[in-house]
């Protein structure tokens, strides 16, 4: 069918408003399980320290009547510490951009600071979980916290551990070196994982969360110890909903609630961390805060920052499964 002569159409008109949605869509991941679940603590110095102790080994204990009492030897506490690390993100917005009518938000600066806040939390999650060594810092050198992988030295498992080293905290020097990975990587397996859980329990830990990357998170779904749970019915629903099949792992040494399995996008994919969050915290010397930078032109600059460190209150409560395949 032909279009009648002189019919006005959209193709030649310039006064038609753009159809631009007033929402900005982003799929960038922002989940930070370790940062979210760790205890919130306060640091009062650049080096945040804490005391750890342990009980004497159990032994036979029987005494004769009328015997004199003798004091048992008592070991001194150990004083680990971690360095506070400054993390920050800055946004700069031109005056004209802040003044124009933007789709999706009223203030360009407010939107950019919202993004920087999410980015900063992702960076902090990576610092908390990674295998970075403790860096003291100096003029021209930033202090860095030692990450969770670097701290765990007591409970470490791998199918093939050859070539790996896990020195952990050195009480003599205060150093926390970076660990080295095994020469070979292997798929995650239930038998090795169960041995790790038992080892943590033997050393007094009660880990309740296993955190790993997406690939090995899927591998855990095939474990025999995975439980299918039912979530309580929410108001307005007719029945309970089934949770994911790999949400909880039930072992001989897990508590009544089992071990929760979680994926973390910002940790190293070749490691799984078995964590006891009663023995894990993030100590803040300066909590998350924003400040404006000096005016240097026709723009506005703001920074969001925090200064904090990872506090591994007793590393023997935690475990790590190393040398995992990632694809």
88-138 pLDDT tens trace: 999 999 888 778 877 777 788 888 889 999 999 999 999 999 999 999 999
Please tell me the distance from the alpha carbon of residue 153 to that of residue 270, in angstroms, as a whole number. 17
Mean pLDDT of 240-246: 43
pLDDT band of residue 158 (cuts 50, 70, 90) is very high
204, two tokens: 């007094």
In this predicted structure, what is the pLDDT of residue 243? 44
Please tell me the distance from the alpha carbon of residue 199 to that of residue 317, in angstroms, as a whole number. 9
Determine which of 112-126, 236-250, 260-274 has the lowest per-residue pLDDT on average: 236-250
Sign for the pseudo-dihedral over CA of 186, 189, 192, 196: positive
Percentage, residues of the chain above pLDDT 70: 84
Please tell me the distance from the alpha carbon of residue 119 to that of residue 275, in angstroms, as a whole number. 24
Mean pLDDT of 155-180: 94
Q: What are residue 149's phi and psi, to 5 degrees? A: -60, -35
Distances (CA, A) of 36 to 33, 85, 162, 264: 5, 18, 34, 12
Could you tell me the residue ranges of all domains in the chain?
A: 28-50+78-321
Cβ contact 95:314 at 8 Å: no
Nearest alpha carbon to residue 145 among 88, 81, 89: 81
Please tell me the distance from the alpha carbon of residue 41 to that of residue 187, in angstroms, as a whole number. 36
In this predicted structure, what is the pLDDT of residue 285? 97
172, two tokens: 């003599």
Q: Which residues contact 221 (CB under 8 A, 6 or more apart)?
A: 245, 246
Residue 312 has pLDDT above 80, yes or no: yes
* CA angle at 254 for the pair 253 and 259, rounded to the nearest 5°: 145
Intra-chain end-to-end CA distance of the chain, in Å: 57
Q: Look up residue 277 and give its DSSP letter.
A: G
Q: What are residue 118's phi and psi, to 5 degrees? A: -65, -40
Strand partners, 260: 209, 248
Q: Look up residue 194 and give its DSSP letter.
A: H
Burial 127-160 (b: 16+ CB within 10 A, else e): bbbbbbebbebeeeeebbbbbbbbbbbbbbbbbe
| Residue 174, phi-psi category: left (phi > 0), alpha (psi -120 to 50), beta (remainder) | left
pTM over 0.75: yes
Mean pLDDT of 234-246: 46
pLDDT averaged over every residue in the chain: 86
Burial class (CB in 10 A: 0-12, 13-18, 19+), 126: buried
Nearest alpha carbon to residue 159 among 318, 273, 325: 325
Mean pLDDT of 74-90: 94
Mean pLDDT of 277-286: 96
Judging by DSSP bridges, how do beta strands 156-157 and 319-321 pair with one another?
parallel
């Amino acid at each position: 069918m032909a279009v009648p002569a002189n019919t006005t159409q959209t193709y030649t008109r310039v006064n038609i408003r753009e159809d631009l949605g007033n929402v900005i869509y982003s799929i960038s991941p922002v989940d930070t399980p370790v940062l979210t679940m760790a205890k919130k603590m306060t640091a009062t110095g650049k080096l945040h320290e804490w005391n750890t102790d342990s009980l004497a080994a159990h032994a036979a204990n029987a005494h004769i009547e009328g015997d004199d009492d003798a004091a048992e030897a008592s070991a001194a506490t150990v004083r680990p510490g971690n360095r506070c690390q400054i993390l920050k993100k800055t946004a700069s917005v031109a005056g004209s951009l802040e003044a124009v009518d933007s789709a999706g938000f009223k203030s360009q600066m407010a939107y950019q600071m919202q993004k920087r806040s999410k980015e900063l939390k992702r960076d902090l999650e990576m610092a908390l979980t990674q295998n970075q060594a403790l860096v003291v810092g100096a003029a021209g050198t930033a202090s860095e916290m030692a990450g969770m992988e670097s701290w765990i030295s007591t409970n470490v498992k791998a199918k093939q551990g050859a070539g790996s080293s896990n020195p952990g905290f050195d009480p003599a020097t205060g150093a926390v070196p970076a660990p080295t990975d095994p020469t070979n990587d292997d798929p995650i397996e239930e038998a090795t994982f169960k041995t790790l859980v038992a080892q943590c329990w033997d050393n007094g830990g009660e880990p309740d969360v296993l955190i790993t990357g997406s690939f090995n998170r899927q591998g855990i779904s095939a474990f025999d110890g995975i439980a299918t749970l039912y979530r309580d019915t929410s108001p307005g629903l007719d029945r309970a909903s089934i949770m994911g099949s790999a949400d909880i792992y039930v072992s001989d040494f897990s508590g009544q609630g089992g071990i929760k399995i979680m994926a973390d996008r910002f940790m190293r994919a070749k490691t799984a961390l078995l964590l006891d969050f009663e023995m894990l915290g993030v100590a803040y010397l300066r909590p998350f805060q924003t400040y404006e930078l000096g005016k240097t032109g026709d723009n506005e600059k703001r920074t969001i920052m925090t200064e904090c460190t990872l506090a591994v209150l007793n590393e023997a409560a935690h475990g790590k499964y190393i040398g995992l395949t990632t694809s």
